[in-house]
Structure 1
Amino acid sequence: MRNILIIFVALVISGCAGKITQQQQEEMNKTVPTCSSSRQCDAGWSAARAWVSNNCGMKISTYSSDYIETYNSPPDSPNLYCSVEKNRLPNGSTVINITVNCSNIFVCRPDKYSAVINFNKSVSDYISQFEPIKIGVYLGMSDINGNVVGDTRDSYGMVAKNVSLHSRANAAGILDGDIIIKINNYRVRNQSEVTSALESISVGDDVKIEVIRGKTPITLNMKA
């Protein structure tokens, strides 16, 4: 009887409906869908709702502009129940996080890791269809002196780093260390504002970019 009890406890502990390993958790965190404008985030949220409807085992019970939740699964059911949240980060970007679970202590179908990875990829792939033109430079929030900051409230503009050769940014004369403060009529202090500005531009457009270079304001012309 004692041996049977030990075996049963071992099965319960080893089951735990697919316990997530540290490596899996890191992969899940690394692939969380991120959007940087209203257009992208609306697309991502639409994709999130579609994924939940098609892949979670329970129907949606709550839906709002930043939260989706299904009904819980019945006792011992391996069917997934899910919740999704949309959260804005200090840098102006937004992440879309899903949490999945089931009522069965041994197994969820699909397993929780696979479900989250599939959600992350599906939503991220859909968001990528709404990316604006690329200008070929890494931009990070900075103060007026070009020091990198982590919060939109401390940001004066977007400092340019690693300008790519033969890129739009390079052709316009943007240099590493330039602080971009305006793209056409859009004031830019974070990635969300940059994305919104670039979304308004079509290939072939003439674009004015205002930068601070060594304390001096400069207006550059870029061909989109």
Structure 2
Amino acid sequence: MSTIVAAIALLAGCSTTGQIAGETMEQATAPLTCTNKAECDAWWARAQVWVINHSEYKLQTVTDSIIQTDGPSGGKRALAYQITKTPSNEGTATVGFAAHCDNMLGCEPNPWKAGADFKQFVRGRPSQIGATASSNTLPPVSPAPASKPIPPAMPVQPMPPTLQNQPGQSGQSLTPE
């Protein structure tokens, strides 16, 4: 009987329900909308820096509208990321964030905390999770002139609609119960 209670306690401890502060949830779900081309370009550069510094998976696709890592795979707790940029007709753009792992017991870091951290970093505040101080350097707000030719972008992979703009993970519900 005590083994069953210990197993339930362990599973409950890995669940995301009830572990995320309201402030973190608010930050993770708040829209991330840049207001002009210079800001959008800077935010997109910061988004790529954040993903490179926080992902255990390699970058799979990087274009002017999507940043996507490999994964998730193999029952790992590591997050795979998919970042999207959707421009509007008014010259603004909305940056979407999705994070998933392939482990029923949960992801590390928690996708809601990663989403909040990502949005803070993109807006120009240092990252709070999983990166070293040296990797928190922010790209300049105005894009620097390119001194080297930029390699051609990798082909865009279609994005499953269930990943779009929502932190989440395989095998777990992220809605409070």
TM-score bracket, normalised by the shorter chain, equals 0.5 to 0.7
Q: CA deviation at 1:27?
A: 2.2
**Bigger-Rg structure (1/2):** 1
Matched, 1:129 2:128: no
> Within 2, Cα distance between the matches of 1:35 and 1:108?
29
Q: CA deviation at 1:6?
A: 6.1
Paired residue secondary structure (1:69): strand
The residue number in structure 2 matching 1:136 is none
> Within 2, Cα distance between the matches of 1:59 and 1:128?
24
**CA 15–91 in structure 1, closer or farther in 2 if over 3 Å, else same:** farther
Percent identity, aligned pairs only, is 22
The residue number in structure 1 matching 2:39 is 40
The residue number in structure 2 matching 1:58 is 57
Q: Please give the per-residue CA displacement for 1:130-171, whole angstroms capped at 9, x wherever unaligned.
A: 4xxxxxxxxxxxxxxxxxxxxxxxxxxxxxxxxxxxxxxxxx
Paired residue secondary structure (1:52): helix
Paired residue secondary structure (1:50): helix
Q: CA deviation at 1:14?
A: 4.9
Q: Please give the per-residue CA displacement for 1:26-72, whole angstroms capped at 9, x wherever unaligned.
A: 22223x43222222222211211121111111111122211111111
> Within 1, Cα distance between the matches of 2:27 and 2:111?
13
The residue number in structure 2 matching 1:26 is 26
* Structure 2 unmatched runs, 5+: 125-137, 143-177
Q: CA deviation at 1:116?
A: 1.5
Q: Please give the per-residue CA displacement for 1:114-141, whole angstroms capped at 9, x wherever unaligned.
A: 22222111111158934xxxxxxxxxxx
> Within 1, Cα distance between the matches of 2:76 and 2:87?
34
**CA 10–89 in structure 1, closer or farther in 2 if over 3 Å, else same:** farther
> Within 1, Cα distance between the matches of 2:73 and 2:123?
30
* Structure 1 unmatched runs, 5+: 131-224
Task: Check conservation: 2:67, 2:82, Cα contact below 8 A.
Answer: yes
**CA 90–8 in structure 1, closer or farther in 2 if over 3 Å, else same:** farther
Higher strand share: 1
**CA 110–21 in structure 1, closer or farther in 2 if over 3 Å, else same:** closer
Q: CA deviation at 1:81?
A: 0.8
Q: What amino acid does structure 1 have at the position aligned with 2:67? A: I
The structure with higher relative contact order (CA 8 Å, sep 6+) is 2
Task: Check conservation: 1:15, 1:105, Cα contact below 8 A.
Answer: no
